[in-house]
Amino acid sequence: MFKIIKQSNKDQGRLGEITTNHGIFHTPIFMPPGTLASVKAIGPDDLETIGAEIILVNALHLHLRPGEEMIEYLGGIHKFMGFKKPILSDSGGFQAWSLSKKGSKLSKINDDGVEFKSPWDGNIHFITPEKAIEIEHKIGSDIIMTFDECSPDNSDKDYIRQSMLRTHRWAERSLKEHQKLIEQEKNSGKKSPLLFGIIQGGPFLDLRKESVKFISSLSFDGYALGGETIGYNMKKTLEIIEEIKPLIPQDKPLYAMGLGSNPRDVIEVVKRGVDMFDCVNPARIARHGDLYTGKIIISSKGVEIESEEKEGIINISNSRYRKDNKPIDEDCDCYTCKNFSRAYLNHLYLNKEPLYLRLATIHNLRYMLRVINALRENIKNT
């Protein structure tokens, strides 16, 4: 399933490939989230063009709408959304946290599972680890995630530890259910997905180590770092990765969940041996006007991004782009940069033209994947 093609001799970076029911994808990889069976604003043809090798969907969202039975009836998630390449499904563990914050009480956690109130119709749904795994199998995704509790970055250690222990119990339950379903699928000739376990522990290094020890004692096909901290608090994230990387089975892929808001974060993390990541931000901030720009350079120091803009981002809604006839990024090979100016994108954005969303999303995702290509190239050359 996971094969390491080349290990960098400079750092922890490595090239690999993962074989799934829907073909092979290469690592390191950025996976665009398409939560509701759609990468917002773009279609499978665009995904193909920008070079997306694998995307994400979310089991909880698809359970609420249109329902896993419906997707199964319609021929599985790939056929349903017209995407032929690998698809990873998240379990809904993230929503246990995200739907409970901001004072909204759309989710409630107890040891058995999580009660979700659908943001769409207010209906109550109770998801257990077993249920999440069942949904993910029914949907037909290639890689599935255990049901976990995404721990907050700013919470007291005692709560985070309790939450981590719960995630551990849920990991065991998820795995057990997974193995049960694999048996059933074997008998019916259906192909089974790979299952990744999720490590928690918040921002605390000792808890993270404890979590790695437990989760990697279970036989998962890959391991993931979860929690609000990952990707959000980059300084802590890098510390955590450095701490836990040696403790994870080296022949298994490592996935940093929710990481990749800025291409610079991806560079740091690949260096430290992370193989997979995803983040809603490249697409979301694109829709909100923020676009990546800057030269991607490979040198003896590795991959770097050179840009005069703050964080390598411009906000296309700003008045200073009204007359700017340059593409978003001069070096970019995406459809948007090849054909349209900043001025045109500014015009589309200001007038809320739907085309803006597609062009902006294509660019940011392609930019991210161009950074990935540079990172692969860099490892290849070491």
Partner RNA sequence: GGGCAGGUGGCGGAGUAGACAAACGCACGAGACUGUAAAUCUCGCGGCCUGACGGCCUUCGUAGGUGCAAAUCCUACCCUGCCCA
Q: Which residues bind RNA (CB under 7 A)?
A: 33-36, 39-41, 56, 58, 61, 90-91, 93-95, 97-99, 102, 104, 106, 119, 145, 148, 150-151, 198, 224, 226-228, 231-232, 234, 257-261, 265, 278-281, 283-285, 287-290, 315, 317-320, 322, 350, 352, 354, 357
Order across the sheet with 222-225: list the strands: 29-31, 276-278, 254-256, 222-225, 194-199, 143-145, 87-90, 55-58
Smallest separation, CB 247 to RNA (Å): 19
Catalytic annotation on 278?
yes
Smallest separation, CB 152 to RNA (Å): 9
CA distance 368 to 382: 22
CA distance 316 to 360: 9
Q: Of 90, 142, 221, 265, which is the active-site residue?
A: 90
The DSSP secondary-structure symbol of 10 reads S
Checking DSSP bridges between strand 29-31 and strand 143-145, what pairing results, if any?
unpaired
CA distance 164 to 227: 10
Comparison of 341 and 382: residue with beta carbon closer to RNA: 341
CA distance 295 to 329: 8
Smallest separation, CB 154 to RNA (Å): 13
Catalytic annotation on 333?
no
Other CB atoms within a 10 A radius of the CB of residue 258 amount to: 24
Q: Of 46, 142, 265, 278, which is the active-site residue?
A: 278
Comparison of 34 and 140: residue with beta carbon closer to RNA: 34
Smallest separation, CB 345 to RNA (Å): 13
List all residues 6 or more positions away from 107 whose beta carbon is below 8 Å from its beta carbon: 95, 96, 97, 99, 100, 114, 115, 116, 117
Smallest separation, CB 190 to RNA (Å): 24
List all residues 6 or more positions away from 339 whose beta carbon is below 8 Å from its beta carbon: none
Catalytic residues: 90, 278
